[in-house]
Amino acid sequence: MAGLRVPIYVIGGGAVTPAGLNARQTLAAIRASLSAYEQHILADPFGQIQTVSRIPSHYSLRHTQNIWLTSMAARAVGEALEKGGVAAGVSALLLVAPEAFRKHPAFAETPAAEFLTGLQARLGESFHPTSRIVGGGAAACIGLLDQAADLLATQEVEQVLLGGVDSLVNDKDIARLSAANRLKAEDNAQGLVPGEGAAVVCLRRAPSRNLPAQCAIHGVGVALEENSVLSENYSQGTALLAACRAAIDGKGPTESDINFIVSNDNGERYSAWEALIGRSRFYRTRRETLPMAYPAMTVGEIGAGAGALTLLIAADSFAKGYAPGRVAMCEAASEAGMRAAALVSARSSSPS
């Protein structure tokens, strides 16, 4: 699937991660290659130590997983709303929640469909009626860019707040990942580090003089990988390849213009193999180097929040001048198999 008839623009966003309590802190930590990993003592099995990436917080905010996800989402969405500078009523919020198959403990008592109501109550705001909570994980966030563009094409929506919130630092997810030998440990160097966080990008149909764009999004591609990490077979990168090809299927930059990649690869052996195969089939133009940014090296695997974080990193790198070029591909993979890619560039509509 491909989308975006015309470019849309990132003008900022919000975030809360183990590396920072707002977008500025988070992005600075990732830019400095810091690590927010720590040792966490598990309740089950009692006393076992697991490497995680956890947000420092008061215990009352973690009274339930639903309260905790609402708290994270409220901080990131509130920051993005403030950055956008327009009322919530003309802002559509598209927020991605943990994938349904995980049966996240945050929604054990309160259905995911009611999460938006609680979030608006927490913020004291009412977003545009088109706002909604969506499942699908990190890739779903990037996959929603075409719907965000459609909303921005209307006169009722001035901006779209697009993001995700998740936490894998809970007993249920850790036990599930441990049983599959997918956690980073002394006997498994190529495992993931459970993380948590929320990230949101503020999207506009066009930049303004008062609020300049950090980057332009030219294309998006989405595909479904049949051989996900949950299947018995290894991925051959088919869906990643299809998503990247769809993202450049437009009037924007081409494959040869891409200077770097921002990816939610999480350190798993499966993730590395898929990327190696998929990227070697997509990037056919000779390059001396192809720099890649992996935010999971700083914040761990933050699930549904990782898609928007890749866009924030790309936008920040252009805005602050540390990007290794003018065009990037943002990639996101969801655990159940969805793959997505977004082609982004510095503020000018074409690379120089």
Omega of the bond leading into 45 within 30 degrees of 0 (cis) = yes
What average pLDDT does the chain have?
93
Domain 2-204 and domain 215-345 have a common topology: yes
Task: Report pLDDT for 48.
Answer: 83
Q: What is the pTM of this model?
A: 0.95
Of the chain, the percentage scoring pLDDT greater than 70 comes to: 97
DSSP run (H or E) holding 261: strand 260-263
Give the pLDDT confidence of 64-104 residue by residue, as tens digits: 999 999 999 999 999 999 999 999 999 999 999 999 999 99
Pinpoint the alpha helices (H) of the chain: 23-31, 65-84, 115-123, 137-143, 145-152, 171-179, 238-247, 269-282, 296-299, 306-320
Task: Report pLDDT for 351.
Answer: 37
- pLDDT classification of 60: cutoffs 50, 70, 90: confident
Task: Report pLDDT for 3.
Answer: 62
Task: Report pLDDT for 350.
Answer: 40
The identity of residue 185, as a single letter, is: A
Query: How far is residue 195's CA from residue 53's CA, in Å, rounded to a whole number?
Result: 4
Query: How far is residue 60's CA from residue 196's CA, in Å, rounded to a whole number?
Result: 17
Task: Report pLDDT for 40.
Answer: 84
Give the pLDDT confidence of 136-167 residue by residue, as tens digits: 999 999 999 999 999 999 989 999 999 999 99
Query: How far is residue 146's CA from residue 337's CA, in Å, rounded to a whole number?
Result: 19
Architecture of domain 215-345: 3-Layer(aba) Sandwich (3.40)
The identity of residue 61, as a single letter, is: L
Parse the chain into domains and list their residue ranges: 2-204, 215-345
Range of lowest pLDDT (90-94, 109-113, 155-159, 216-220): 109-113
Pinpoint the alpha helices (H) of 124-221: 137-143, 145-152, 171-179
Name the one residue in this structure whose structure tokens are 């990008």.
201
Task: Report pLDDT for 126.
Answer: 97
Range of lowest pLDDT (37-41, 90-94, 291-295): 37-41
Instruction: Classify domain 2-204 at the CATH class level.
Output: alpha beta
- pLDDT classification of 41: cutoffs 50, 70, 90: confident
Task: Report pLDDT for 120.
Answer: 97
Structure tokens at 192: 């993931």
Query: How far is residue 137's CA from residue 157's CA, in Å, rounded to a whole number?
Result: 24
Task: Tell me if 318 sits within 8 A of 312, measured CB to CB.
Answer: no
Name the one residue in this structure whose structure tokens are 């982004």.
344
Task: Tell me if 159 sits within 8 A of 152, measured CB to CB.
Answer: yes
Q: Residue 1: pLDDT above 80? A: no
Mean pLDDT of 218-245: 93
Task: Report pLDDT for 352.
Answer: 34
Task: Tell me if 241 sits within 8 A of 337, measured CB to CB.
Answer: no
